[in-house]
Amino acid sequence: MTTFNDLGLNDGVIKAISEMGFEETTPIQRQAIPQVMNGQDIIGQAQTGTGKTAAFGIPYIERIQDPNNKEIKGLVVTPTRELAIQVAEEINRLGQYNGITALPIYGGQSIGHQIKALKKRPQIIVGTPGRLIDHLNRKTIKLNNVNMVTLDEADEMLNMGFIEDIKTILQKTPSHKQTLMFSATMPGPIKSLAEQFMNDPEIIRTKTKEITVPSIEQQYVEVKEGDKFDVFCRLVDSQSPEKAIVFGRTKRRVDELYQALKKRGYFAEGIHGDMPQTKRDHVIKNFRTGATELLVATDVASRGLDVTGISHIYNFDIPQDADSYVHRIGRTGRAGQSGAAVTLVTPREKGHLNLIEQSIKRQIPRRPKPSVDEALEGKQKIAVEKLLSEAKDKNARQYHKLAEELLEENDSIELVAGALKSLTVESEGPNIKLTEEAPIVRGKSKSKKGSGKSGSGKRQGHKRSHKNYRKKGR
Ligand SMILES: Nc1ncnc2c1ncn2[C@@H]1O[C@H](COP(=O)(O)OP(=O)(O)OP(=O)(O)O)[C@@H](O)[C@H]1O
Ligand SMILES: [Mg+2]
């Protein structure tokens, strides 16, 4: 067992880490932290949820120790806004006793607000590419003193959608800086590309047989496109997830699906790239606090997001490629927790599922469609939980007298059964038809690009030479 003390970290960092509840180092932390502290360039590949953020965050604090130096010393680039916010928060927690602060810089937030926050002179910037370039052009951010750069989700950052922006950003940083790249997936061509931006990088891969996390139970359900919604609702009812992300292929799908789920009485919200940032922030906040149980999302939520309590991942639509599958299901089973992932697969998508299985070197077992009875059982279980928790609520005392009166004249079993029945929604709810999505056949996306409200932004126009790398604008 390696503790953080064994890594020779300063007292402030040790205190912060212990307050964050970390005891042992994870394999990527134990391998990467000493090397990064030595100034080595690194490509770090380790499974989802294994603490890659702290693997670069801790050395950032160690190497940028002087709180009186108010220049931007460290830069982290992330593919999504929510991830920029989350990574900045984690670095701020790690740096709290060393006077080191990180500021998230992302699109959709008022630039004036960001300029004001920049005046407080954070030493670390965590940003999304578009908004970073905006600040560089306005000269409100200068990167000429940066000595550490990390591309989080590096393979995503270097794919065709982001590469030009990344080049532009890196050109504004000193050539002798340290460059780090982290991701759970690192396809060969991207790795070679990454090396061009680095100085003799050390490749660190934690030794694991599988790319996906073993504590995530993976299954698929075969279902016709038109039956997906009803089957999905039954699945959710039978599994009663504590918190789940439901991935849809397009923005239109996400919009239709979360609205349909709400109509059926689920606590569901949606998130995708066409929503205003204030709404996105609100949706994520509700999901973090648990007010929302089902977060319906495009791949915008597939990378890096770390929300406690996610018990299930549902691929309402099968992902475009194996890497997307790995990241999506990796939103559960984090930091040693268990989790479950179920993918809905239409008969024509079986070949595509096989390709994903080959890539992740694992067979995904099929589970039968949940029956109406199983769904009902799940709903009854929830009714029991609800009744028990209401019974223990102190306000339930007001009902004790009424209960006594009822019990004098009625059978207790009948009464409890009636209460449970009234708490169980027995029907499947309103009939709902979603717009059908075209299947993905044998690894090739047959779905029209930008179908529905999907697709927006300049990146759509980029020519894609790596056929498996997704477009942006999700
Ligand atoms: N040493 C540790 N001990 C316990 N928990 C940890 C440790 N390091 C990180 N964590 C926690 O584990 C969770 C996952 O960490 P993190 O988000 O950094 O994973 P990741 O490897 O970046 O995953 P992804 O590939 O999905 O981005 C976080 O909640 C983090 O606080
Ligand atoms: Mg991460």
The residue whose CA has the least distance to atom 12 of ligand 1 is 335
Quickly count: other Cβ atoms within 10 Å of residue 217's Cβ: 16
pTM of the predicted model as reported, rounded to 2 decimal places: 0.92
Give CA separation, 89 vs 101, 305, 306, 437, in Å.
9, 12, 12, 37
**Cα 301 from Cα 81, distance rounded (Å):** 10
Q: Rounded to the nearest whole angstrom, what is the distance from the C-alpha of residue 302 to the centroid of ligand 1?
A: 15
CA of 55, nearest ligand number: 1
Given this model, what pLDDT does residue 472 score? 54
Atom of ligand 1 lying closest to residue 24 CA: 1
CATH top-level class of 4-205: alpha beta
Amino acid at 222: E
Give the position of tokens 């609100």.
282
Q: Rounded to the nearest whole angstrom, what is the distance from the C-alpha of residue 372 to the centroid of ligand 2?
A: 38
The secondary element (H helix, E strand) that includes residue 55 is helix 52-63
Q: Rounded to the nearest whole angstrom, what is the distance from the C-alpha of residue 51 to the centroid of ligand 1?
A: 3
Q: Please say whether the dihedral angle defined by the alpha carbons of residues 261, 264, 265 and 266, taken in this order, is positive or negative.
A: negative
Given this model, what pLDDT does residue 465 score? 33
Environment of ion ligand 2 (residues, CB < 5 A): 52, 304
Closest residue by Cα to residue 58 from 176, 177, 166, 148: 148
Q: Are the C-beta atoms of residues 147 and 63 closer than 8 Å to each other?
A: yes
Q: Rounded to the nearest whole angstrom, what is the distance from the C-alpha of residue 295 to the centroid of ligand 2?
A: 19
Domain ranges of the chain: 4-205, 216-372, 373-423
**Considering the domain 216-372 in this protein, what is its CATH number?**
3.40.50.300
The secondary element (H helix, E strand) that includes residue 216 is strand 216-222
Residues near ligand 1 (Cβ within 6 A): 22, 24-26, 29, 46, 48-54, 184, 304, 306, 330, 334-335
Determine the number of helices (DSSP H) and then strands (DSSP E) in the chain: 17, 15
**Cα 345 from Cα 348, distance rounded (Å):** 8
Q: Are the C-beta atoms of residues 61 and 135 closer than 8 Å to each other?
A: no
**Residues in the chain, overall count:** 474
Enter the ipTM: 0.99
CA of 2, nearest ligand number: 1
**Cα 124 from Cα 146, distance rounded (Å):** 9
Given this model, what pLDDT does residue 35 score? 98
- Segments in the chain below pLDDT 70: 443-473
Read out DSSP for 106-165? -TTS-HHHHHHHHTT--SEEEE-HHHHHHHHHHTSS--TT--EEEEETHHHHTSTTTHHH
Give CA separation, 408 vs 391, 402, 415, in Å.
19, 10, 11
| Same fold for the pair 4-205 and 216-372 | yes
- Tell me the pLDDT tens digit for each residue of 42-72: 999 999 999 999 999 999 999 997 778 889 9
